[in-house]
Amino acid sequence: DWTMAAFREQAIEEIRAKVGREKVICGLSGGVDSSVAAVLLHEAIGDQLTCIFVDHGLLRMGEAEQVVTMFRDHYNIPLVHVQAQDLFLDALAGEMDPEVKRKTIGRLFIETFEAEAKKIGGASFLAQGTLYPDVIESVSFTGGPSVTIKSHHNVGGLPERMDMKLVEPLRELFKDEVRVLGRELGLPEPFVGRHPFPGPGLAIRCPGGVTREKIAILQQADAIYLDEIRKAGLYDAIWQAFAVLLPVQTVGVMGDGRTYEFVCALRAVTSVDGMTADFYPFDMEFMGQVATRIINEVKGINRVVYDITSKPPGTIEWE
C-alpha cells in the first residue's frame, strides 16, 4: 500500500525530529496499536527506545507471555516486563465507579512508566498508540453541556503533572489503517488481526468491583469463548469479542444441589472503527455450545447471557 508506505516514512521523520537524541519509553499493552507504535518507533530511533509492558493483573489468559515473547525474542526490542499486579489490584480494591477505576489505572500506569524511566537513566518522552477515534471520543460530545462520556482510552487517564512529553505517532489513524501499517512494518498477521483490548483491561469487564478471584473466573470464561470463536473460524469477522463477569449471582442446579454463582455476559460486535457497532449474530447452536463449556469448565459461573445491544445507544464495553 503506497499510501501507508508514505505515511511510514513521514512518521519516522517526524518522530526523529521531535525526539532528537532523547530517550523514549513506550507503554506496550499487547494490543495492536501500541505494538505498531513500538515497532515504528524502533525503526525511527533504534535503541533510544525502551518498551515497558506493565502487567496490571487485568490481562487475558496467556497474554503477558505472548507479548513478551514477540517483542523480546522476535523483534529484539528492549522490553521491561513490570510485574505490577499487586499495585493495581490493591488500588482497585472495593472501587465500584467505572470512571474512578479508569483514572486509578491511568495514574498507576503513569507512575509505573515514570519509575521505569528513572531506572533507565531518564526518558523525556512517553510514546503511546493513541488513535484518532480515541482522540475524538475523549473530547466531548456535542448537544447540551460539554459532557465527557468516558475518560476514555489512552488519552483520558493521563495526569497533567506527568513529567514526560507525549509521542503519539498514530494519532491520525483509524484502526484499519493501523493494521495496514502493522503489515507494512512486518508484524505477524495473527498479531495485526487481534481484536482491540482496552488499556484498563479486565477491570472494565468486571463491573461492580474487581477482585483477584473475579478476574481469574473472567479470564477462564473469556479464553473458552475466544477459543470457540477461533475454532468456528469467526475471529476475523468480529471486531471484538469478550466475556463480562456480572456482579450478580443466580440460582442453578448441579446434580442434587443448588448452586449460587455469577452470571457471565458474552459480547461480540462488528465495527469499522469502534465508533459504532452491531452485535454479532451467532447461530444459537454455537451460543449453546459456548455456554455449556463455560458453565461446565469454569467454577463460579452458572449462567451465560448474550448482549444484543448495538452502539449507539450502547457502548462496546460494559463500563
Nearer to ligand XMP, 12 or 82 (CB): 82
Consult the annotation and say whether 34 binds a ligand.
yes
Q: Is residue 201 a contact point for ligand XMP (CB under 6 A)?
A: no
> Which listed residue (102, 194, 214, 303) binds ligand XMP by CB under 6 A?
102
Q: Is residue 222 a contact point for ligand XMP (CB under 6 A)?
A: no
Q: Is residue 205 a contact point for ligand XMP (CB under 6 A)?
A: no
- Does residue 169 have a cis peptide bond before it, meaning omega lies within 30 degrees of 0? no
Helix (H, G, I), strand (E, B) or coil at 188: coil
- Least distance (Å) between residue 43 CB and ligand XMP: 23
Consult the annotation and say whether 29 binds a ligand.
yes
Nearer to ligand XMP, 152 or 303 (CB): 152
Q: Is residue 182 a contact point for ligand XMP (CB under 6 A)?
A: no
β-pair type (240-254, 79-83): unpaired
Question: Judged by CB under 6 A, which stretch of 149-157, 254-262, 290-298, 301-309 contacts ligand XMP?
Answer: 149-157
Q: Cα(190)–Cα(181) distance, rounded to whole angstroms?
A: 14
Q: Compose the 24-63 pattern: x for residues touching ligand XMP by CB under 6 A, - for all others.
A: ----------------------------------------
Helix (H, G, I), strand (E, B) or coil at 53: strand
Helix (H, G, I), strand (E, B) or coil at 27: strand
DSSP 112-164: HHHHHHHHTT--SEEE----HHHHHHHS-BSSSS-B-S---HHHHT--TT-SS
C-alpha cell at 121: 537513566
Q: Cα(139)–Cα(132) distance, rounded to whole angstroms?
A: 11
Nearer to ligand XMP, 5 or 308 (CB): 308
Q: Cα(1)–Cα(102) distance, rounded to whole angstroms?
A: 36
> Which listed residue (154, 219, 220, 302) binds ligand XMP by CB under 6 A?
154
Can you say which residues are annotated as belonging to the binding site for ATP? 29-35
Where on the chain is the footprint of ligand XMP (CB under 6 A)? 102, 150, 152-154, 196, 198-200, 240, 274, 311, 315-317
